[in-house]
Amino acid sequence: MFTTERLIVRPWRRTDEDIDRIFDIYSRWEVARWLGATPRAMAQRGEAEQAVDRWESRAAADPRLGVWAVEVRDTGVVAGSVLFVRLPNGDGEVEVGWHLHPDSWGHGYATEAARAVVRNGFAHGIDEVYAVVRPGNDASMAVCRRLGMTPLGTTTRWYGVECEAFLLKNPGQGDRDRAVEG
């Protein structure tokens, strides 16, 4: 799909390697506890295959949106996922998010991948992007700050649970935000 200095952002594939990595990421409570309205770790490998099917159909509906693999260029290791999706129970708002394997935490991959998908979304007509982070997920809130997102406070609007919301507007739509360019 596209590359950054250190990463390849690409569709997840129905290969054993990708399915195994998805299951390895999303079966871990330390990852899953921050995700969705009711956090739940994957229990069976087949759930990873179903996830690829969902992500492929989402991309087919609107190619600007999706859940993609974040592959480290130098090693070929998939660090995790970056997502650019419509928020549930919303009015078409787009969310950026990241779900990385613990072995890939602390390397700046979430920020680099999120910056790339946001830039791509802005280039394709998305006017603003939200991030929704559960309280206590300090690492993800730090990614939001590095992206230059504006904190909006807590909300239960999209997921029905209390989350911290962040907003970033497309600099091409008037508000210049140099953080996304960097």
Which residue shows structure tokens 């998939």? 78
Inter-residue contact 66 to 59 (CB < 8 Å): yes
pLDDT tens digits in sequence order for the chain, 182 residues long: 889 999 999 999 999 999 999 999 999 999 999 998 899 999 999 999 999 999 988 777 888 899 999 999 999 999 999 999 999 988 999 999 999 999 999 999 999 999 999 999 999 999 999 999 999 999 999 999 999 999 999 999 999 999 999 999 998 765 444 444 44
CATH number of the domain residue 123 falls in: 3.40.630.30
Q: Quote the CA–CA distance of 167 and 172 in Å, as a whole number.
A: 15
Q: Quote the CA–CA distance of 68 and 83 in Å, as a whole number.
A: 6
Check residue 34 and report its DSSP letter.
T
Inter-residue contact 171 to 135 (CB < 8 Å): no
Displacement of CA 174 from its chain's centroid (Å): 25
Inter-residue contact 157 to 90 (CB < 8 Å): yes
Full domain range(s) for residue 166: 2-181
Q: Quote the CA–CA distance of 65 and 58 in Å, as a whole number.
A: 7
Number of domains observed in the structure of the chain: 1
Give the pLDDT of residue 32. Answer: 97
Give the pLDDT of residue 174. Answer: 55
